[in-house]
Structure 1
Amino acid sequence: MTSIEITPGQLTLDQLRQIRAGGVRLSLHASADAAIRRSAAVVQAAAAGDAPVYGVNTGFGKLASTRISKEDLATLQFNLIRSHSVGVGAPLAPGVVRLMLATKAASLARGFSGVRPEVVQCLLDVFNAGLVPYVPSQGSVGASGDLAPLSHMTLALLGEGEMLVDGERRPARQVLEAAGLVPLVLQAKEGLALINGTQTSTALALEGLLRFETVYASAVVSGSLSLDAARGSDGPFDPRIHEVRGQPGQIEVAAAYRQVLAGSEIRQSHRDGDDRVQDPYCLRCQPQVMGACLDQARYCAEVLLREANAVTDNPLVFAPEGEPAYMVSGGNFHAEPVALAADALACAIAEVGAIAERRIAMLIDAGVSRLPPFLTANAGLNSGFMIAHVTAAALASENKSLAHPASVDSLPTSANQEDHVSMATFGARRLGPMLDNTAHIIGIELLAAAQGIEFLRPLKSSATLEQAHALLRRDCPPMPSDHFLAPSISAAKDQVDAGAFAGLLTQVTGLRVLR
């Protein structure tokens, strides 16, 4: 099993990718211990003192002016977790919860949160045991931290919540004991530090980003296959066009299209004497649209990587070695950076699906594609891809609604104390359904484009696209006449999600969506 040593503040995207996938063990770099202990000592001193300190000996939110007696400080933290575990809805996917555990441990280990080393180690132990706390997906507004989902995660660490085992909910205490782990016992501020942060929003957004990587690359392949099936021109991919604009994603993805299309017999057959002056935008403008989406995804990756390494709880403890220590209340729990990044990524996901849907519409339109109507030889008796396109249109339309920015909404909470919130958690969570929709659209495009290529036989496409065609046909048979098409759409979508076409693109072009 691969081991990842976490150096607080230095998690990489590749490490987060491995953490999401599971099958790794986490440890903490020894250099983190001193800072963790110094900040914990500050909190312990505050708990022993008489001065009011938010999160240590006061109530929370609107109740911050309520003082709590010393003998009730531990109970205060337990009650916080119990009362805030109010999530609803389906559980978060195991990969998302793994990211939550790891990024919360990394954040606390930076030594600004005032928790003991035992708290960080508990998070790592639960991760390393392969345990997945049961965390309902709904109930956070993305400010004051992802309180409800992180509370459910923490409640499982305390042995009072639930774990997800083989898809079933199990009492956390039983699962911890079976793994040889002892439930965590909280001390002053530790409950607040565990739930006051953006780790759920960030984990959901990272899940969306890492899935987009695969869907995006698959769309470059499907778009190339559609171009060749429609006997489109490779002229619009000329590097000079893209260099004079200067957009980096556009330049890079145009090069990838050229490499994927290189050597096509189909293209060579109509290079001279083609009476179509210009291709439709859905073919001709692929570098411009997909390049902009690539730049957007890379921007989102920068924001989310910073957030995965960030300290986002409150109040924060500053205890530099050899200097006076102090605690400061702030608002790093506000997930606005994640919300805006998730909204930007949602637009990119929607656009990748939208232009792919237009290519499917183009392929079934004999007047534009110059292929048989609806990609079937006996149109009328057969409907071909007529309604498969309708499905793609429905999914593209759904994505347009889902792409509405979540970050522009805000509802005051906690009796107006928390009066502006980010809605980052929903903004990130909705990326999953959007990616499902887009992966289905790309699957339908692959089926349609492959059918179009078969009408041009015996001519062959490029070596790369012939590999993609063969890969698709391994699970999805041709449709010379109408047959039950839904299983093929599902199988093609599964191939997209599994990275079959993304791997081919990377192998041929070296394109990495996220660097």
Structure 2
Amino acid sequence: MIILTGDTLTLNDLKQVVRDREEVAPGSEAIKRVEETREAVEAIVSNGKIIYGINTGFGKLSDVKIASEDVEILQKNLILSHACGVGDPFSEEVSRAMLLLRANALLKGYSGVRKELVDKLIEFINKGIHPVIPSQGSLGASGDLAPLAHLALALMGEGEVFYSGRREPAGKVLTATNTDPVILKAKEGLALINGTQAMAAAGALAYLDAEEAAEQADYISAMTMEGLQGIIDAFDEDIHLARGHEEQIEVARRMRNYLHGSKLVTRQGDLRVQDAYSLRCIPQVHGASRQTLAYVKKVLETEMNAATDNPLIFEKGGKILSGGNFHGQPVALAMDYLGIAVAEIGNISERRIERLVNPQLNDLPPFLSPQPGLESGAMIMQYVAASLVSENKTLAHPASVDSIPSSGNQEDHVSMGTIAARHGAQIVKNTRRVLAIEMICAMQAAEIRGKVKMGGTTRMLWEEGRKIVPSITKDRVFSEDIERLTIWLEKEQWKMKE
């Protein structure tokens, strides 16, 4: 059970809830804060004091006063009008993460919602009811308005949800699971959609996958070193201490450990003095990407525990302030940075693939083929890797440098953070496939060199990989191998002991 306090949610907690289906519950102190600020909202409604989003219109219509008897209609209309997302839906994982992050944000106690609304979000999580949320349509500045409106629709018993592997009308599923739809009260519609939870949810899951891909890149590149008889001296600790970047030093240490005992790697001068950069600079490149991911993790965990509503209620209603915490700029920049960092892991992996298959760059059979000429072997696998990394280069163009004014120019600078998160997630998926291709080629090359000469860790990785993808003894449909190994890499079975 994960207890939500509004302040302590971690990426590991999110992983447990979203991927391991751990249940959640609200913390008692957090509920107390929610109830105190709700009292302040109800007092505002009863005394007629004008506060944005409680008894006014929204965006450019914020100067329009709403009568007290219409405040509930106002909130419902807000959700209906803003639920205009388009495109394929986010995955169930992203939808579940959005429910989690929205509940956690409301539990900070600055939003003025009822405890019942938080309970409804948590009920959806614990029952596995996941709103169908279109992935396109957010500018990432007034919050993820369109995606979060679709989340709110499901709470109201409208729209669609994923449940037990099916996509069905929300009302039908709520009835079948004895789940009452929520009726939004003053400010609650705005509190649900003012926030960065779509970009943060998609970004958090992309980060978790990117972190694993970075680890896998180290393992797989160590086996490539063996397949190409790489020079292990490039990973000597003194080289990396001389530069001082912690992540670079750590990658070099891991490479030394993975290659410990290997008789396939060489020393400088044995076969050549220096390797190409894609081998020699593995710690520098992988380390820089890990350095970036450390920054992304910090931003995400801060945002996961942030109040991103507007207005925010402080001092038990004594101070109510309109601001811009819904603006997704911190996440947008971090997601663009994540995409670039992971794209580079893919870029250097593809260059290692080229060195494994190109007979002009090694002394292995051309394209690792058992019968070069009659059979093409891994030739087109390199084409696929090149295509994926080229697509990544396009996706890695920063989304955050773009902005289009909206809401009658009231919202005149936006983050495009949700686009950045979506692109980052796709880059991770593409890179994972590139790494799968490198692993297929590295296993084949190491096998040709002599698997008995491999290091203990790389030999273990080779043995596990061979359970998924057999040796290349003749041409076959390699697409199936790539997909099977990619799925294996997405699971946790790939992890080896150093």
- Counterpart of 1:275, as a letter, is L
State the Cα deviation string for residues 335-354 of structure 1 (Å, max 9, x = none).
00000000010001100100
User: What is the TM-score normalised by the length of structure 2?
Assistant: 0.98
What is the match of residue 346 of structure 2? 353
What is the match of residue 270 of structure 2? 274
Alignment of 1:192-203 (within 5 A): 192-203=190-201
2:319 corresponds, among 326, 341, 355, to: 326
Count residues with an aligned counterpart: 498
Q: Mark the CA change 1:272 to 1:81 in structure 2 (over 3 Å): closer, same or farther.
A: closer
Matched, 1:468 2:464: no
- Counterpart of 1:142, as a letter, is G
Alignment of 1:163-202 (within 5 A): 163-202=161-200
State the Cα deviation string for residues 216-249 of structure 1 (Å, max 9, x = none).
1111111111111000011011011111111011
Alignment of 1:331-346 (within 5 A): 331-346=324-339
1:303 corresponds, among 289, 299, 302, to: 299
1:165 is displaced (CA, Å) by 2.5
Alignment of 1:441-480 (within 5 A): 441-457=434-450, 459-480=452-473
Report the identity percentage. Answer: 44
- Counterpart of 1:280, as a letter, is A
1:362 corresponds, among 355, 359, 377, to: 355
Q: Aligned partners of 1:486 and 1:198: how far apart in 2? A: 37
Q: Aligned partners of 1:167 and 1:355: how far apart in 2? A: 38
1:64 corresponds, among 62, 65, 78, to: 62
Q: Aligned partners of 1:273 and 1:217: how far apart in 2? A: 30
- Counterpart of 1:153, as a letter, is L
Alignment of 1:62-461 (within 5 A): 62-267=60-265, 270-271=266-267, 274-320=270-316, 325-457=318-450, 459-461=452-454
Q: Mark the CA change 1:272 to 1:255 in structure 2 (over 3 Å): closer, same or farther.
A: closer
What is the match of residue 42 of structure 1? 40
1:393 is displaced (CA, Å) by 0.4
- Counterpart of 1:311, as a letter, is A
What is the match of residue 512 of structure 1? none
Secondary structure of 2:450's aligned partner? coil
Structure 1 runs of 4+ off > 3 angstroms?
270-273
State the Cα deviation string for residues 302-354 of structure 1 (Å, max 9, x = none).
0000000000010000025xxx7121000000000000000010001100100
1:369 is displaced (CA, Å) by 2.3
Structure 1: stretches of 5+ with no match in the other structure: 509-515
Q: Aligned partners of 2:140 and 2:456: how far apart in 1? A: 47
Asked if the contact 1:59–1:67 (Cα under 8 Å) also holds between the matched residues in 2, the reply is yes
Q: Aligned partners of 1:358 and 1:272: how far apart in 2? A: 21
Q: Aligned partners of 2:168 and 2:493: how far apart in 1? A: 35
Q: Aligned partners of 1:241 and 1:271: how far apart in 2? A: 15
1:275 is displaced (CA, Å) by 3.1
Instruction: Give the superposed CA RMSD.
Output: 1.3
1:489 corresponds, among 459, 477, 482, to: 482
What is the match of residue 52 of structure 2? 54
State the Cα deviation string for residues 366-387 of structure 1 (Å, max 9, x = none).
2322212111243212211111
Asked if the contact 2:451–2:459 (Cα under 8 Å) also holds between the matched residues in 1, the reply is no
Q: Aligned partners of 2:490 and 2:333: how far apart in 1? A: 25
Structure 2: stretches of 5+ with no match in the other structure: none
1:396 is displaced (CA, Å) by 0.6
Q: Aligned partners of 2:477 and 2:36: how far apart in 1? A: 65
